[in-house]
Structure formats: structure tokens, C-alpha cells
Amino acid sequence: MDFKKYFFIGIGGAGMSAIALVLKGMGNQVSGSDIKRSRYTAILENEGIKVYTSHDPSNLGDSEIVVYSAAIPYDNVEMAEARKRNLDIMGRSDILAQILNSKKGIAISGTHGKTTTTSMVSLLLRGSDLDPTIIIGGELNELGSNARCGKGDYVVAEACESDGSFLKYNPYISLITNIEEDHMDYYKDYGNLKKSFLKFIENTSKGGFVIIDGDEVDLEGNTGKRMVSYGFGAENDLCAKDIRYANFGSSYSLEIKGKKDGKIKVRLNVPGIHNVKNSLAALSVCYCLGMDLRKTAELMQFFTGVKRRFEKRGEKKGALIFDDYAHHPSEVKATLAAAAREKKNRVVTVFQPHRYSRLSNLLGKFGKCFIECDILVITDVYGAGEQPLLGISGKAIIDELSETGFENSMAYIPKLEDVVKYLELNIKKDDLVLLMGAGDITRVTEELLKAKGDDDKLLG
């Protein structure tokens, strides 16, 4: 790293703030700007990082390099000022590549499960006194943040495939949780997406490992890398057997291929079969690093989750209120399956579609993932900067479900403020209420819990 004074444009994003925290921990001067304050900007300011809440050329001060997020337009005034001064300008992924490639990088990729798996790996390595550097796309409960600068040999980071930038990394361990159709605005078709993941594997450093979900990821041939697989099938190197669910958690027996010294008990305090898979992925990392799996398996019970991943936010009228980031059909289906397994009364789901392009490409799959809902509310699309597409709105999901014969109650309520009113009138004691989506749907959670009744409970 050749610079000491960094300025981040869009510093309040999950990925940008994580990089900023690590650079600050490495002894650099870090500042940045964003258009509004958030949980992430509060974390940054608590670490002594100056955050401006407007874009202005003077914000750059004596910075030597400008780092920008993908959401920043070319004509941004701070970008223009950086060009005027002939400062170095780099994207977030370029800085992450420098950090990840400077040590033994553990890069966790896949269509979904990245944040939780990265968080689990981080917990296990920290609990084993390996002091890793951590860069996560969500806020790890145990960490109280989305990043930390460690002094150990490892960097644990999410490797997002959305724009192909994960191909800049040369990790010691490359992990793929799954490969499903997504980000077609960039890849155009599934074949290009899969080629990108194969290239990601090829970039694994010499002597490193590739870890895959052996039940789901088909690499079609020998990659020439040291491969480790995990899953439920006995052919995998790490396998989960005798899975049991209870009290928003689970347990299973971990079997290691070729090992004769008995099964290892694993307990999880996060719900769902998808989290069993995530934990297998995390334990596979420990397996590749030669760690004691019995000890790391014991640490897994201390994982309590990530913000907005089946996060319990409180109670309203005796109903449990949960917030979840799920926005891809497979994520939605997995989260709802976990909810249905734990429900006492009804599963009430509010889903906010994320991006017009994703909804357009995956509409048929969205029509098949809400089967576990007793009551389903669909809002309008959170565009995330995209322009609307003709005929693509939240109502398209309702229409798709109607055609497939979905028989449970459903409603299209475009505006979030109207969703709050609907829930206040319709939820009942012992309902499990899920607010789902990658946009600003969490506003509904906050508004719903703001006006507390006698039986309501608001968590932190």
C-alpha cells in the first residue's frame, strides 16, 4: 500500500466503510463523504474517521488517493476535483484486492450466503486466536461492526461477483457457496456467470485451496486446484448428518471423509438448513487450514448472526418481528422455510423486490418461493438507481402467484407507509412477521415498532 491519506466517496456503504475501517486500523489517515448518516457512518466516526454528509471539492483536503464506490457517477464534484489535482483514483475492489492479496486471503463468493459464511469464518478464526483482518458486507453481531484490522496472517473477505471485480483477487482459499442466475444486467446469461466463477477459481494462489458446496456447484472437470467439498451427500469431504431443528437453531453431526475418529457435534444458534450449509462452508475453511475441528465446532455455537439476516428486531401485539436481507428467490425460499419450521401461528411476509432487472429476469422463480407464507404482502420495487421497466412492478409477483394457484392471502401494497398501517391492523399474537428485501424495507420494521403498546418489545 503506497499511500497514507485516503478519501472515500460513498464511504457510508457496507463495503466502502469496511475497507475504510481496515485502512484506518493499518495506521492510515482516512476520511470520506456520503449523502446521509447511517449505522455505518456512526461506526466510522466512532473510530475517528471524518465523514462529510455532502459532496464538496474542499472535502478532499490533503488526501493522496480517492477511493470510489460503483454508485458514484463520473461527474461527481469530488471525482472531478481528484482528476483536477491528478490524484490517484481507485475503485473499492482495487483496494480490497491490494489488502486481500497482501496476506493469505480467504475470499468467499457465491450467489448467496456470502455474508453469513464470511462472518462465521471470522468468528472461528478469531476464537482460535489467529487475529484475522475481516471485511464483511454486513454487521457481525459479535464484532459490532463489518470490519476489523487484525495482525494475523489471514484476510477474510466477501468476494462479490456482481460486476466481475472478484477476479482481481488471488486468494489462498477461494470458496463458492453456490452459483445461481443473478446480476444478468452485467453477465447477460448464465454461461458468462459460470465462466466468471471458473476464472475466480483459476486465480487461487499456488498451493491454496478451492472450497465448493459439492451438492450444488458443478465445476465440469478438473480445475487443477486442491479441492474440498462440503454438503449433505456422503461423497463430500465434510458432511452434515442427523440434522435437528429447535428454538431458532439446529444441531448436526459433522463427518469428515476418511476419518475414523467419530462424528463431531455442531450446534447453531441461527435457524434454517441454509445456515447448516453456511456453517459447513466455514468449517471447511478451518479444515483446509489444518485447525482442530472439534474446537472450532464448539465455537460455532457462539455465532449469533449478522444484522438483517433473520434478525429478531422486537415484538408487536405478541407477534415476533424479524428483518431479513433476502432478495434472490433462493434466499427468500430458504428464509421462509426456516420461519415456517419455527412458527407458532402464521408466517406474515412483506417482500420488497430489489432492482427492476432482477425482478424481470427471475420473475418465474419469484412465483415459486413464497409457498410457506400464510399472508404475503408485496411492495413496489426498490430500484437501487435503475430506471423502471415497462410492466415490471411488485404487482407482477402477485400476478405470477395468481397464475400458479397460490391460495393464501396476498396483497400488493406499493407504499411502505401503507404497509405499516396494514400490519398494525392485521398481525396477531404468535405470528412470525418477516420484513424481507435488500432495499429500505427495514423502515417498516422501525416504524412498526416505534409506537409501542403494552405488550410490545423493541430490541437494540
- Give pLDDT tens digits for 35-50: 888 888 999 999 999 9
**Which domain CATH number covers 185?**
3.40.1190.10
Residue in 253, 209, 250 with CA at minimum distance from that of residue 106 = 209
Are 325 and 414 within one domain? yes
Residue 296: domain span? 103-302
Residue in 16, 11, 46 with CA at minimum distance from that of residue 31 = 11
Return the number of other C-beta atoms located less than 10 Å from residue 357's C-beta. Answer: 20
Are 341 and 202 within one domain? no
Q: Measured between alpha carbons, how far is residue 222 from residues 171, 194, 226, 293 in Å?
A: 19, 15, 10, 27
Are 152 and 296 within one domain? yes
- Look-up of cell digits 440434522: 243
Are 139 and 286 within one domain? yes
Of the candidates 24, 104, 114, 277, the residue annotated as catalytic is 114
Give me the torsion for CA of 298, 299, 302, 305, rounded to 10°: -120
Query: Does the residue 95 lie in any domain?
Result: no
Are 327 and 432 within one domain? yes
Query: In angstroms, rounded to a whole number, what is the distance separating the alpha carbons of residues 13 and 38?
Result: 9
Stretches where the chain sits below pLDDT 70 are: 1, 139-144, 220-223, 261-262, 451-460
Question: What type of residue is 263?
Answer: K
Are 156 and 267 within one domain? yes
Are 82 and 168 within one domain? no
Residue in 388, 387, 411 with CA at minimum distance from that of residue 399 = 411
What local confidence, expressed as pLDDT, does residue 68 receive? 94
Over the stretch 80-100, which tens digit does the pLDDT of each residue have?
Answer: 999 999 999 999 999 999 999
Of the candidates 78, 158, 311, 331, the residue annotated as catalytic is 158
Annotated active-site residue 115? The verdict is yes
Annotated active-site residue 5? The verdict is no
Are 131 and 239 within one domain? yes
What local confidence, expressed as pLDDT, does residue 188 receive? 86
Query: Does the residue 181 lie in any domain?
Result: yes
Give me the torsion for CA of 7, 10, 13, 18, rounded to 10°: -10
Q: Do residues 135 and 99 touch, judged by C-beta distance below 8 A?
A: yes
Query: Does the residue 124 lie in any domain?
Result: yes
What local confidence, expressed as pLDDT, does residue 71 receive? 82
Residue 132, classed as helix, strand or coil, is coil
Are 112 and 258 within one domain? yes
Are 213 and 352 within one domain? no
What local confidence, expressed as pLDDT, does residue 261 receive? 67
Residue 63, classed as helix, strand or coil, is coil
**Helix H or strand E encompassing 377:** strand 375-378
116 CB contacts (<8 Å, ≥6 apart)? 138, 270, 275, 278, 305, 306, 309
Query: Does the residue 376 lie in any domain?
Result: yes
Annotated active-site residue 114? The verdict is yes
Query: Does the residue 96 lie in any domain?
Result: no
Are 325 and 351 within one domain? yes
Of the candidates 111, 115, 118, 442, the residue annotated as catalytic is 115
**Which domain CATH number covers 412?**
3.90.190.20
Antiparallel, parallel or unpaired: β 154-158 and 104-109: parallel
Output the furthest CA–CA distance in the chain (Å, rounded): 65
Are 111 and 231 within one domain? yes
In total, how many domains does the chain have? Answer: 3
DSSP 2-31: --SEEEEETTTSHHHHHHHHHHHHTT-EEE
> Is this model's pTM higher than 0.75 or not?
yes
Task: From 42, 57, 90, give the residue that closes a domain.
Answer: 90
Task: From 302, 320, 341, give the residue that closes a domain.
Answer: 302
What local confidence, expressed as pLDDT, does residue 1 receive? 63
Query: In angstroms, rounded to a whole number, what is the distance separating the alpha carbons of residues 372 and 341?
Result: 10
